[in-house]
A and B are shown apart, each in its own frame.
Chain A
Amino acid sequence: MKSKLNLDPKVIDSARSCAARIAESMQTFIDRHTTVSTERTILRLLGVDGVDDVETPLPNVVVDAIKDGGGLQKGVAYWMGNTMIQTGLDPQAIAEKMAAGELDIMKLPMATKEEAEAKILPLVKEALERINQQTAAREKYLSTIGEGRQPYLYVIVATGNIYEDVVQAQAAARQGADIIAVIRTTAQSLLDYVPYGPTTEGFGGTYATQENFRIMRKALDEVGEEVGRYIRLCNYSSGLCMPEIAAMGAIERLDVMLNDALYGILFRDINMQRTLVDQYFSRIIIGYCGIIFNSGEDNYLTTDDAYEAAHTVLASQFINEQFAVLANIKEEQMGLGHAFEMDPDIENGFLYELAQAIMAREIFPKAPLKYMPPTKYMTGNIFKGHIQDALFNLIAVWSGQSLQLLGMLTEAIHTPHLQDRMLSIENAKYIFSNARDLGEEVEFKQDGTMQKRAQFVLGEAEKLLHEIEKEGLFSTIEKGKFGGVKRPKDGGKGLAGVCVKDETYFNPFIPLMLGGAK
């Protein structure tokens, strides 16, 4: 397809191959390390669930015991396999006995790595089979009841109470929503464990727990059958438990997950080594089970200026794309993020936003791009806000965005009320229908404002990627090149949970999930 923005394919290729080299150089670091959350994820996939008598999740009980016993570098899969050989128990029973203080798995005789691996392999295959069934269930829904048309209408629920979330989510689906994101309670990203069971108390959102995932999945399947449209469920594979939540999402059939290689580092002050290792396994899981990931580039524009920092969004999209390639994620699952966040007072701001959105579409043609609504310049003037959202919707349909996180006229006031969601869905449906084929009809003036802007942003992104390659990603982040946020390599939260693997380490899920791709 000819570029409407007259983008130079050579510049795009140069930027992309530069991002690939950046991701690969990180991969060497990632491959040498594991984390407590990566290891807990293996346990969750093996079916370890529940909490001890002080509410500590069993995956934490087991991994903490191995870490305290100095055995984390061998990996939890070895210790579980070995304990199964020595005791004849399954992983759940082992975890329960450990929680009860009846079993010290660090003091058992030690089988070889090969023996442990062989012992655990059937359970790994069973786990993958359970995930495969969920992926098949999604496929079946899509081929029977079908789905909404793109841009998918993506709305959030955030009551703090999963049962109230269900009411709001089902109402939103009836009004036309295609994707429901259950916003997480504030601060969950900094918990180094995943809470357990259904929850009814959260601030600005609801805890991501496996039971909450299950409750919402069931509710959305029900309403999906009622409205004759598969309703996708979204949650956050981010924070200190990034891969664990990806595993929960795979098991409970989530469809979309927020997952960004850099977001936690920049915006939650999570240690960069921890996040980069965690994102790798989380993305392998996401890739394997057909979840669409959403990267968080939109956030740069809430801390930095959307006009001036536009190229950092594109550079980060290239990097997120290449990290995803390394985790064997298909382009059709790469929900690269961007946002409509320019100051509404900028003259021709609409043109710059449109140029950015079309540029992203042209550079990542098959990616289900996630487009985020205005938030930073929403004022509480709900009437103007509704118009800002309308302009945002117009760009989305014009430029062919895929996942449209609907703006709410009450942004900056409160988490959405029932009617706010209805009004924003109505706004989007009206504009998407009324301007459906606008993009097909319109081309842009040679060397006009739009073309020049997109070419400039692409050129700046390419330059930045070359700088990052020269400097190294860690050091680039230390200098504050993304979102204007500086983070030290050894700073932030969760570094204590990073561990260098020894030569006997194995994670049995990675080779099978990659399916020989690596």
Chain B
Amino acid sequence: MSSHTTHAATATTAVDLTKVKPYGDTMNDGMMQLSFTLPVPYGEEANEAAKQLAKKMGLDEPNVVYSKDMVGFTYFVLYGKCQHTVDYTTIKVTKVEVDVMDRLECEKYIEENIKRPVVIVGACSGTDAHTVGIDAIMNMKGFHGHFGLERYHGIDAINMGSQVPNETLIAKAIEVNADAILVSQIVTQKDVHIANLTNLVELMEAEGIRDKVILVCGGPRISHELAQELGYDAGFGSHSYAEDVASFVLTEIVKRKLV
């Protein structure tokens, strides 16, 4: 199956950051691995279809290393050499710009700069029932050894749980005079999270509290860039912990003079 074509050796080991392509075991070999399914019956024609598709994707010498009959469907593992490159030197990504403080530093920061309890309300709002994200950030135990906001001295963390209507979340934020609202969104099928996150911003604007509250969203499919597009102050993706969120919220309170 494998192709034995040999190319004249281009013995370079230094990466050219203006023309980056995938690395398999040699600089610029472009090697990529893919696995996918086509809705066609298993056989030689299926393999050929997979290879043609890979070529259209810019993968040279596509090689179907494995295919499996899934009755009317065929599953492939395929390797190919990517022909495209990207210019790494011109890339700009919007990130949450904050110096992350650990829990104790956050507590000290509150004492020194805010000098009152900080109130944070969080929820999985809308129809989302998956609390794993909001729990990881807010609950006492936190996640993976990173304590949650409930543990932070100086922070009143109120986790409202799952499937909280946006209206209820806002009502609670007003009732407790919240400094920040955290919204977690896990379910993203058919972009349900976008509609819900947008709705929350609109409701807060209608209530006239958008400027008074720091609004943060999080979830595995959330990026800071998306969050900002939707009108949030920050967005946190996977691998964010309570201290990342706390550091942002606390410094933002000071920066925006909401002390």
Contacts and interface: CB of A to CB of B under 8 A. Distances in A.
- A-B interface, 5 closest residue pairs, ranked by CB to CB distance from nearest: A187-B127, A186-B127, A204-B187, A419-B37, A174-B71
Given A187-B163, A268-B163, A380-B238, A418 B132 contact: no
Contacts, number: 73
A415 B141 CA distance: 27
B139 interface: yes
A350 interface: no
Nearest to B164: A269
Q: Which of A187, A376, A419 has the most CB of B within 10 A?
A: A419
Interface in B97-135: 127-129, 131-132, 135
Contacts of B26: none
Given A160-B189, A189-B129, A414-B189, 11 more contacts: A174-B70, A186-B163, A187-B163, A190-B163, A203-B189, A204-B192, A267-B129, A269-B162, A345-B144, A375-B132, A419-B75
Interface residues of B, number: 27
A419 B36 contact: yes
B190 A422 contact: no
A203 B132 contact: no
Interface of chain A, helix or strand or loop or mixed?
loop
A392 B169 CA distance: 38
A112 interface: no
Nearest to B77: A419
Nearest to B141: A305
B187 A303 contact: no
B68 interface: yes
Contacts of A219: none
14 contacts: A160-B190, A171-B72, A171-B73, A175-B70, A268-B129, A268-B162, A376-B132, A379-B238, A412-B220, A413-B220, A415-B189, A418-B75, A419-B75, A484-B139
Contacts of A190: 163
Contacts of A417: 37
Interface in A242-280: 267-269
Contacts of A419: 35-37, 70, 75
Given A203-B192, A417-B37, A418-B70, A186 B128 contact: yes
Contacts of A422: 68, 70, 75
B22 interface: no
Given A160-B190, A303-B131, A484-B139, A267 B238 contact: no
Contacts of B129: 186-187, 189, 267-268
B231 interface: no
Nearest to B139: A484
A302 B36 CA distance: 30
